[in-house]
Structure 1
Amino acid sequence: MDLFTWLPPDATRVLFVLFLSFLIGLEREERKISDEQYAFGGVRTFPLIGLIGYCIAVLSRGELLPQAAGFAVVAAFLLMAYWHRLAVSGNAGVAGEMSGLATYLVGALIFHEMYWLATALTVSSVILLELKAQLENLAKRIETTDILTFAKFLLLSAVILPLLPNQALTEFQINPFKAWLVVVAVSAVSYGSYVLQRLTKAQGSVLFSALVGGAYSSTVTTVVLARRSRESGQAHLYAGGILVASGMMYLRLAALLALFNRALMMRLSLPFVVLGCIAVLAGWLWSRRGEVEAASGMAPMEPKNPLEISAALLFAALFVGMLVATRLVVEHLGHAGVYSLATLMGVTDVDPFIMGMTQSADSLTPLPVAKTPPPIAAASNNLAKGVYAFVLAERRAGVQSLVFLLTLAAGGLALLLV
């Protein structure tokens, strides 16, 4: 039963205005109690501002000009309060006055029956006002490079992507929108790993670096851990970390397959997830054998910015090149040519090739053929990483890593028999 059915609609709206504006006023009242400095408004002022906004909207019957005039009048009073606060305390913050303007808008929005927007505005205002200290500390921790990196991600996803045509072009059936969407998705995974590494770089844990770095690039993580193993006698720890990073590669590929090709996902995602989880678990268990003390004093792994525009353009070029190469190989060399191409690309970077297979499966490459190259490319990549670890790592860590990655490669190829 609706408790407000017996109330007139305007009464219900007025109660809603009072409730939402009271929440903002309550936060401001607490701020005045906790701060000795002068603060504008409280549990009476803000509900009055909300009621003014609602009543002006009612009297003007929703006309924009009278509501804008009322907004200007309220803003003028808030400006006077701001000048008074500057003269009394010298505090130049303007958040309280801005919350007053937001309260006026809450009243107007409720008149127009935009209840969700009014509630969202109120909740956002209260959160932003209440988390003042935490947000200011966060702003101090964020570096200029982090802001620039996020701006690049927005450029890749929100600016460039909508401008591209969403249709197949040329005889190779290349869709610019889908091609760049792949770039955005891979960049988003790498960016998430990059942010996590930046936020937790002070921890310096080998296994944590392997987990996060493997989601970014298992090849780069393998090389870094292999080189660092020479500085420590903990062969089990670094060999286990390298195996964990390669397990994360399978989990990353499973997520990308799920995003871009449902048919391939049904064939490969579950085996990839199982193989990745086994590798991560085995690497963690192996790292705890022998000397288990983590190298807590080691320098944290410094991740490379994955959102350089040049890197995104290079990935896009590689991705389109894989689509073209796959089409030509299928036409002229058949299935054996596709498998050879998968082996070759696995030595360098598996992402462009496997993402190319997600787009060419069914259209350029039959699904029974398209499901085979991804495990081959991943196995080839594991073989290459095993060689890197054997050459670059401390002897025992290198031998253990090579054995683990060869076993993982064999397990990946065994997927072809399932």
Structure 2
Amino acid sequence: MPDSLVSLIPTDAFKLFLVIFLSFLIGLEREEQKVAVGHYAFGGVRTYPLLGLVGYALASISTGAMIPLALGFVVVGGFLLLAYWHKLQTAQGSGFTSEAAGLMTYLVGALIYRDRYWVATAIAITSVILLELKTTLEGLTQKFSPHDILTFTQFLFLSLVILPILPNQAFGPFQINPFKTWLVVVAVSAISYGSFLLQRYRQGRGGVMLSALLGGAYSSTVTTVALAKRSLADPRPRVYAGSMMIGSGVMYLRLALLVSLFNPGLRQTLLLPFALLGILGMAIGGVWASSGKVTEEVPPQPHLYPAQNPLELKAAFLFAGLFVSMVILTHYVVLYLGNRGVFTLATIMGVTDVDPFILGMTQSAGQGTELAVASGAIAIAAASNNLVKDLYALLFSQSPGHLKFDRQLPGTQALGLLTLLAIAGLTPLLWLL
């Protein structure tokens, strides 16, 4: 507690006020819930402050000793168990949240006596938030399947349990670092999963541009293909062409973040130009999409989010394998083909997912590969990927066997926009090479 606050009011008075205030917040939320359900529910604006005061008083009498506090916890828990039993007899579908909140309130009082102000405040506020968001949190079960939850749990196991025990040192002639390799997988998967969750939560709401914005953080290539296919049944070519540009702009911001995380040298050379390219792509795409006119009725929008969860273990291990392969391949290319070979490889890698190659470059930049060469190769790979997306946009936005270059078609418009972004993406080469 700040010294200035201690000098103004007695310590015990401050503690009692904090106990009553935090307990009252919990009781107020439970009182509202009791009124809403219309049947018996444990506690309210008087009961919870009393429980908090019981915890504080018992801690004060026992001078913070654990055995009296534990016995008090058992006694309070017994009374709450009786209340819960009574609720089961009088109401259907009764939950245990009010009784659990009562136990937490008792602990809040004890924690404040022991000067654990931050912990007590965090517990109380978190409890109120969880209680208040009951409908929202229960609604999430309708948006995410048990398989999604299992996948997320597996990812947490691999990132929070396995990652810390991996050796953080290089092995073998290619200097492969197991910790950094899996850290790359965790970072990429986390960014992609964040976008995946937002798209799943939105459930197609928010329009095409929002879908492109979120999809670009997952995969701008997948987003381009999805938007091109969707444009076949939607009379808004500018909206889709601009949205494809937005997705590619987000790609540059995503790459700027990943490069900055894993190589300080590349952060100095690429963070600013990639951030500017990202903003430029999003701005041009947004203006182009907003200028579109609808001449026909707009059909309902299907979901854009990808079918595969990015935290699938197979996808994670596949990415790890591709990442290690890119590190090894880059080593041999630099050794036998020199800088031109690296640039050629970067151009070829743009045809597929550029993340494994670019993140592989973050590991070799400044070591086996010159920093300027690695920076140039990353810029080339991103530009090459934009040119490949030109082709995807053109092909998938038209019916099979009817390829044509019509300025009114979204694929043709996207061709010009993405080509412009690809050319702009090569400008860092002017000072890097």
Please name the residue that 1:415 is paired with: 428
CA contact (8 A) 2:256 2:271 kept: yes
Which residues in structure 2 correspond to 1:5-404 (within 5 Å)? 5=7, 9-90=11-92, 92-203=94-205, 205-289=207-291, 291-292=293-294, 295-304=298-307, 305-394=309-398, 395=404, 396=406, 397=409, 398-404=411-417
Gap change, CA 1:13 and 1:414, over 3 Å in 2:
closer
Aligned partners of 2:331 and 2:233: how far apart in 1? 46
CA contact (8 A) 1:205 1:295 kept: no
Shift of 1:323: 1.2
Aligned partners of 2:183 and 2:257: how far apart in 1? 14
CA contact (8 A) 2:213 2:247 kept: yes
Give yes or no for the alignment of 1:405 onto 2:428. no
Gap change, CA 1:13 and 1:245, over 3 Å in 2:
closer
Gap change, CA 1:52 and 1:235, over 3 Å in 2:
closer
Given residue 302 of structure 2, which amino acid in structure 1 is its aligned partner? A
Aligned partners of 2:33 and 2:236: how far apart in 1? 53
Gap change, CA 1:128 and 1:246, over 3 Å in 2:
closer
Shift of 1:277: 2.0
Given residue 334 of structure 1, which amino acid in structure 2 is its aligned partner? G
Listed as ranges, the gaps of 5+ residues in structure 2 are 399-403
Shift of 1:192: 1.3
Given residue 17 of structure 1, which amino acid in structure 2 is its aligned partner? V
- The RMSD of aligned alpha carbons is 2.4
Aligned partners of 2:217 and 2:256: how far apart in 1? 11
Gap change, CA 1:337 and 1:110, over 3 Å in 2:
same
Given residue 416 of structure 2, which amino acid in structure 1 is its aligned partner? V
Aligned partners of 1:388 and 1:34: how far apart in 2? 54
Aligned partners of 1:128 and 1:72: how far apart in 2? 24
CA contact (8 A) 1:37 1:91 kept: no
Local SS of the residue matching 1:414 = coil
Number of residues paired by the alignment?
Answer: 418
Shift of 1:372: 0.8
Aligned partners of 2:418 and 2:184: how far apart in 1? 27
Aligned partners of 2:331 and 2:25: how far apart in 1? 62
Aligned partners of 2:242 and 2:36: how far apart in 1? 51
Aligned partners of 1:141 and 1:237: how far apart in 2? 27
Given residue 341 of structure 1, which amino acid in structure 2 is its aligned partner? L
Shift of 1:400: 2.9
Please report the TM-score for the alignment, with normalisation by the length of structure 2: 0.88
Gap change, CA 1:134 and 1:403, over 3 Å in 2:
closer
Aligned partners of 2:119 and 2:70: how far apart in 1? 18
Listed as ranges, the gaps of 5+ residues in structure 1 are none
Shift of 1:3: 5.7
